[in-house]
Amino acid sequence: MTTDTHKYEDSMSTTTPTRAPHSDAPTGHTSDRGRAGAGLFDPGQLVTSLPDALRKLDPRVMVKSPVMFVVLVGSVLTTVFSFTDPGDPFGWAISAWLWLTVVFANLAEAVAEGRGKAQADTLRRAKTDTVARRLVGEREEQVPGTELRIGDLVVCEAGDTIPGDGDVVEGVASVDESAITGESAPVIRESGGDRSAVTGGTRVLSDRVVIKITTKPGETFIDRMINLVEGAARQKTPNEIALNILLASLTIVFLLACATLPPFADYAGTRLTMVVLVALLVCLIPTTIGALLSAIGIAGMDRLVQRNVLAMSGRAVEAAGDVSTLLLDKTGTITLGNRRAAGFVPVRGTTEAEVADAAQLSSLADETPEGRSVVVLAKERYGLRERHQGELVGAEWVPFTAQTRMSGVDVDGRRVRKGAAGSVVAWVKERGGEAAEDADAAVGRISEAGGTPLLVAVEDERGARVLGVIHLKDVVKEGMRERFAELRRMGIRTVMITGDNPLTAKAIADEAGVDDFLAEATPEDKMALIKREQAGGRLVAMTGDGTNDAPALAQADVGVAMNTGTSAAKEAGNMVDLDSDPTKLIEIVEIGKQLLITRGALTTFSIANDVAKYFAIIPALFAAVYPGLDKLNIMHLSSPNSAILSAVIFNALIIVALVPLALKGVRYRPVSADRMLRRNLAVYGLGGLIAPFIGIKVIDLLISLVPGL
């Protein structure tokens, strides 16, 4: 986000953009579209995703998941061996359930992808082929939007659809971005500053703007969103790759273990068929987490999309879960972004009412939020009627300039000025007046408190003199202290970034409750801070929307760019917040942590499952030849065949049962890592041990009722 380089100690900026009602001001909540369906699971999705699940049986796709590829190979082998003995119902039953296990695993991933495709279909409806009004010199020509190139200038007026991504270089307009964000409230886009970026497919509601195209056709923001939410660009994260390696290693270990069983069986005078060995292998390898791993990652990105945050890769989502340092821009993130009048301080010999009257009079021509706040404060606190420029007949308005650093009005024989302290004092002395000592003291107090002092002076029949000081204050958003306390409980350190001087920065930091701050920050300072944090082994997240934020967003492990920001910021970040709510970074961190916790919880459940299935199958298989193993046959299953088939059926059904949890995610609570580990072991570890004993026993009882099995 832009740093606060416009300091009223040095100047009175009149270029602060005025927000229209319902504009880009952060709302503190996600859109209705974001809330709808967030974390929900519709059983009907299983049916609609079934064709995709069947298409994923392609070995070239399955080989990407070593565990499930082994199950696929096992399904083929058992099917082949079943054909050699077509009269054996046990072989056919095992084959059928192994195929279902593979399909159910693909179904979990297909359901997760299907939810993303539904989002993509919505975006495609917003993407239309438009006719652009391209500027060639001073004239306009109509061309298809697909012919636009980077650098082209196009004109858009009320009712026009913006033909491509770009930056407003001339004018200001109200734009309907509901096709992207789901919010019906229009936003303001204007040339200059950090609210100049526009997105192809959105619609201009009022006024006229000239837009400079910044992307090629087919590479627009909506095109990228469609590709990303469909999962086409999703890459495995380092932790996911490491877990895949672990699962592949376990699969190899159990493969070797099963390969050693036939000699033991032959020695004991019994025989293990290939169907039994494959079924045993599938039940012992970690098929549950292997089947759900991809779905968990896709669902994590989908949860971000449901909250109107677009993640450029799965790495960004996972990194958000490990973030330990959070950099937040002050303006627009921690504060409302516009200084507001908080009080009038009179000097000796004047009253607050006199200062308020002169301050309001000198602010009538000041259309900045700061100027309007002076008028409103004078009206609300002192009952002064809000006057208008047209009522002051013969008034000469003095606009603000960078040279004078003052503004005001000459009317009814009086000259009223307000502005930076040094400029107003110099103006008074030029007219033979003296600066009041208590005015200097008030300026010092306001500056030390983190506010911005503006002097108000007047020249009338009594001469030139200072009347008092206007206290401008940067207002901290409501609830920020509580949000930062929540981040602290997560173990995340917060750092406020601002262009203000250290005194002002400290005052705001103390009021907001951040852990640290960086004052008078330049892009180089931000980069240096991020690199220092990363050198200490910490992952850094940052929000931003300005071009000057782009280097830091690119350096940060999680760079969240605001959709209202410049194209450079959105290109540099690895996430884009479509609602442009900087405080949403807290939700992003929670979703990242939830993804990691879900993966860990289901891995714990899966391994515990394997242990339980081991005790269900092995004793039942060898109890007849090794009577000592009968003590481990605690479930007393009907027969060895029933034990194996029950385990295979349970192995397939548990995948379907866990799909909703994989998509919704395990609930995240801001607690310490050791408490979280104990909870996972107690809930998912113990649950993973108990569930197979109950499930396999129930299935065994049902199988015993089927003749021939």
pTM value is 0.64
pLDDT of residue 167: 87
Q: Name the token pair of 23.
A: 């504009």
pLDDT for residue 611 is more than 80: yes
Q: Is 322 among the annotated ligand-binding positions?
A: no
Residue 454 gets the label, from left (phi > 0), alpha (psi -120 to 50) or beta, of beta
What's the pLDDT at 387?
Answer: 57
Grade residue 313 by pLDDT with cuts at 50, 70 and 90: low
Check the annotation: does 436 bind a ligand: no
**What pLDDT shows up at residue 45?**
66
DSSP string covering 383-413, please?
Answer: ------GGGSTT-EEE---TTT-EEEEEETT
pLDDT at 385: 59
Distance in angstroms (rounded) separating the CA atoms of residues 1 and 520: 14
Range 257-267 average pLDDT: 82
Of residues 55 and 179, the one with the higher pLDDT is 55
- Is residue 546's pLDDT more than 50? yes
* 406 in a known ligand binding site: yes
Q: How far is CA 578 from the centre of its chain?
A: 9
Is residue 370 part of an annotated ligand binding site? yes
- Confidence category of residue 154, pLDDT binned at 50, 70, 90: very high
Per-residue pLDDT at 187 exceeds 80: no
Section 135-142 average pLDDT: 84
What pLDDT, on a 0 to 100 scale, did the predictor assign at position 231? Answer: 52
Confirm or deny that 88 is annotated as ligand binding: no
Residues 402-417, mean pLDDT to the nearest whole number: 84
pLDDT digits (tens, 9 = 90+) for 276-285: 889 888 888 8
> Of 692, 447, 693, 490, whose CA–CA distance to 591 is shortest?
490
Tell me, what's the pLDDT at 654? 92
Question: Mean pLDDT over residues 527-532, rounded?
Answer: 90
Write the pLDDT tens digit of every residue in 651-688.
999 998 998 888 888 887 766 667 777 888 888 888 88
Residue pair 500/444 in contact (Cβ under 8 Å)? The answer is no
**What pLDDT score was predicted for residue 246?**
85
Per-residue model confidence (pLDDT) at position 99? 94
Answer whether 439's CB lies under 8 Å from 399's CB: no
Position 79 pLDDT exceeds 90: yes
Mean pLDDT of 551-580: 81
pLDDT at 76 over 90: yes
pLDDT of the residue at 5:
33
pLDDT tens digit string along 349-395? 888 888 998 888 888 877 777 788 888 888 888 776 555 555 566 78
pLDDT at 250: 86
pLDDT score recorded for residue 75: 92
Q: What is the pLDDT of residues 114-124, one digit of tens each?
A: 655 655 565 55
* Average pLDDT of the residues in 160-166: 84
294 assigned ligand-binding residue: no
Please give the average per-residue pLDDT across 565-587, as a whole number: 78
Q: 5-34, pLDDT tens digit by residue? A: 333 333 333 333 333 333 333 333 333 333
Inter-residue contact 300 to 23 (CB < 8 Å): no
Does the structure show a pLDDT above 50 at 567? yes
Q: How far apart are CA 440 and CA 215, in angstroms?
A: 53
pLDDT at 543 over 70: yes
Q: Where is pLDDT greater, at 687 or 403?
A: 687
Q: Which of 591, 529, 520 is nearest to 556 (CA)?
A: 529
The verdict on whether residue 400 carries a ligand-binding annotation is: yes
Q: Mean of the pLDDT values across residues 57-66?
A: 86
What is the pLDDT, as a whole number, of residue 10? 37
Q: What is the pLDDT of residue 673?
A: 67
Closest CA to 488 of 519, 527, 516, 530: 516
- Of 329, 357, 500, 557, the catalytic one is 329
User: What per-residue confidence (pLDDT) applies to 183?
Assistant: 52
- Is the pLDDT at 98 greater than 90? The verdict is yes
pLDDT, residue 73, reads: 93
Query: Is the model's pLDDT at 72 over the cut of 90?
Result: yes
Confidence of residue 77 (pLDDT cuts 50, 70, 90): very high
b/e burial code for range 332-345 (CB count within 10 A of at least 16 → b): bbbbbbbbbbbbbb
d(CA 476, CA 583): 13
Q: What's the mean per-residue pLDDT of the chain?
A: 78
Residue 404 annotated as part of some ligand binding site: yes
Q: What integer pLDDT is reported at residue 224 of this predicted model?
A: 64
Give the pLDDT score at 650. 92
Q: What is the mean predicted confidence (pLDDT) over 323-341? A: 78
Give catalytic status of residue 525 as yes or no.
no
Task: State the pLDDT at residue 127.
Answer: 54
Comparing 6-10, 475-479, 625-629, the range with the smallest average pLDDT is: 6-10
* Mean pLDDT, rounded, for 34-39: 38
- How confident is the model over 200-253, as pLDDT tens digits? 878 888 888 899 988 877 666 666 666 655 554 445 556 777 888 888 888 888
Is 270 known as a binding-site position? no
